[in-house]
Amino acid sequence: MTTTSPETSRALKRRPLSPLRLLESYALLILTALVFLFFSVNPTSANTFPTIANLNVILGSQAVVSLIALAALFPLVSGYFDFSLGATAAAAQVMSAGLMANAGAPLWAAVVVPILVGAAVGFVNGLFVTVFHMSPFVTTLGMATLIAGSIQWYTGGQTIIIGIDPAITRFGSSRMAGLPTVVFVVLGVAVIAWYFLTHTPYGRSLYAVGSNASSARLVGIRVERNVWWSFVVAGAIAGLAGVMQLSRLGSATADSGNGLLFPALAAVFLGATAIKPGFFNVVGTIIGAVFVSISVSGLTLSGASGWASPVFNGVALLAAVGLSTYLGRRKKRG
């Protein structure tokens, strides 16, 4: 081994980020804080926005969006879209409710079975995309439509509200350390996702596939198999998101799940502009989800009409995709 020159020993220490890069990495976090401040002092929302009750609503509602965002993260890291995650979550919600209300299933089954079914949907998506080389875009969009239609058929357009085990709704409205318990579920999933994506060969291989699938294959990565798994994991997390949604709302109704999917996608893409700019990452995704929830809640409490929330989600999604694409391109150029 050669002796390390002073130059290399300096390089061994991670070079401190330049102030501009630092600002870039934390811009979303700062923006989130600014939006929070704005709605706290803004006269039309100052009375209702910064209250404990409202903050709990924000945190609770962002929990489901965050879970779906974390689900979408896995295929996205390897460069694949999954549009069926919102519908999968909606199906899991209805299935969980239906199992308890119509089939008399025990609570554990009503929690576990929808998660497994979510994973099965991901398995089929992954099969189509990796083995049959079908376009992920159209495949998952078709799957989403199929699932939404099946939910319609199963519920007959009715809302399932009677026969749901009160334990699950109690969990959904419970608190731990002053915060909604579901927030801790999200944090748990986020920590596991972070561990898998950054500290296992599997997660690292997904980033490699997302960077250059052909190179990844030639360093011995089983590209198809790993991407397939990313769809399965995404489906399972979306299933969990559906169960959480049921626990928070106490009822399940026929829904396409798109109302959940698009804020989640906005969160993932916003997340790719933060912490590790140009790459999808867990911490950025969570910040993105909080940002979206705070902004939507603030807008609503400021008296904006019902159209404000989808308009905001759309704008946020476009801005996020634009920014993350720009950052990614700049990275490639070096």
Partner 1 sequence: MAVSPPRGTAAAGDTPAAAGGSGAIALELHGVDKHFGGTRALDGASLTVRSGKVHALLGGNGSGKSTTIKILAGVYSADSGSLSIFGQEHPLSSYTSTVAQHAGLRFVHQDLGLFEELSIEENFALDAGYPRLPGGGIHWKALHERVARLLAEYELEVDPRVPIRALRPSDRTMVAIARALQDQEGTDRILVLDEPTATLALHESELLLEKVRRRADRGQTVVIVSHRLQEVLSVADDFTIFRDGRVVGVLTDAQPTEDELVEIMAGGAVSALRPTGSTTHSTGEPMLQIDGLYGGPLRGVDLTVHRGEIVGVAGLVGSGRSSLLKAIFGAVTPTSGTFTLAGEPYAPRHIDQAMEAGVAMVPEDRGRDGVFADLAVAENLAASVLRESWIRGWMSRSRERRTALALIDRFRIKVGGPDALFSSMSGGNQQKAIIARWLQRSPGLLLLDEPTQGVDVMSRSDIYALIRDAARDGCAVLVASSDMSELHALADRIVFLRSGRIGAEVSAVGLESDDLVRMVLKDPTLSITLPDFDTKRARP
Q: Which of 94, 117, 81, 75 is nearest to 246 (CA)?
A: 94
**At closest approach, how far in Å is the CB of 132 from partner 1?**
13
- 53 touches partner 1 (CB under 8 A): no
Mark 18-46 as b/e (b = at least 16 C-beta within 10 Å).
eeeeeebbeebbebbeebbeebeeeeebe
- Binds partner 1 (CB under 8 A): choice among 208, 240, 243, 274: 208
- Binds partner 1 (CB under 8 A): choice among 38, 123, 154, 207: 207
Of 204 and 249, nearer to partner 1 (C-beta) is: 204
* 223-249 and 166-173 helices, crossing angle to 10°: 100
Residues 6+ away with beta carbon under 8 Å from 144? 83, 84, 86, 87, 256, 257, 258, 261
- 46 touches partner 1 (CB under 8 A): no
- 166 touches partner 1 (CB under 8 A): no
Of 86 and 277, nearer to partner 1 (C-beta) is: 277
Of 141 and 204, nearer to partner 1 (C-beta) is: 204
**At closest approach, how far in Å is the CB of 76 from partner 1?**
15
- 156 touches partner 1 (CB under 8 A): no
Residues 273-292 that bind partner 1 (CB under 8 A): 278
Residues 169-198 that bind partner 1 (CB under 8 A): 198
Residues 315-334 that bind partner 1 (CB under 8 A): 328, 331-334
**At closest approach, how far in Å is the CB of 194 from partner 1?**
12
Contact criterion met (CB below 8 Å) for 127 and 143:
no
- Give the separation between CA 34 and CA 71, rounded to whole angstroms: 28
- Binds partner 1 (CB under 8 A): choice among 188, 201, 314, 322: 201
Number of residues that bind partner 1 (CB under 8 A): 34
Residues 6+ away with beta carbon under 8 Å from 123? 228, 231, 232, 235
Among all chains, which residue has been given the structure tokens 């561990």? 195
Of 1 and 52, nearer to partner 1 (C-beta) is: 1
**At closest approach, how far in Å is the CB of 82 from partner 1?**
22
Residues 209-238 that bind partner 1 (CB under 8 A): 211-212, 214-222
Q: Give the range of 5-13, 57-65, 88-96, 147-155 binding partner 1 by CB under 8 A.
A: 5-13
Other beta carbons less than 10 A from residue 329's beta carbon: 10
Of 303 and 334, nearer to partner 1 (C-beta) is: 334
Q: Tell me 51's DSSP state.
A: S
Of 163 and 322, nearer to partner 1 (C-beta) is: 322
- 77 touches partner 1 (CB under 8 A): no
Report which secondary-structure segment, H or E, holds 179. strand 179-180
Contact criterion met (CB below 8 Å) for 150 and 91:
yes
Contact criterion met (CB below 8 Å) for 70 and 189:
yes
- Give the separation between CA 279 and CA 296, rounded to whole angstroms: 25
The token duo for 81 is 């879209």
Where does this chain bind partner 1 (CB under 8 A)?
1-2, 4-5, 8, 11-12, 14-15, 198-201, 204-205, 207-208, 211-212, 214-222, 278, 328, 331-334
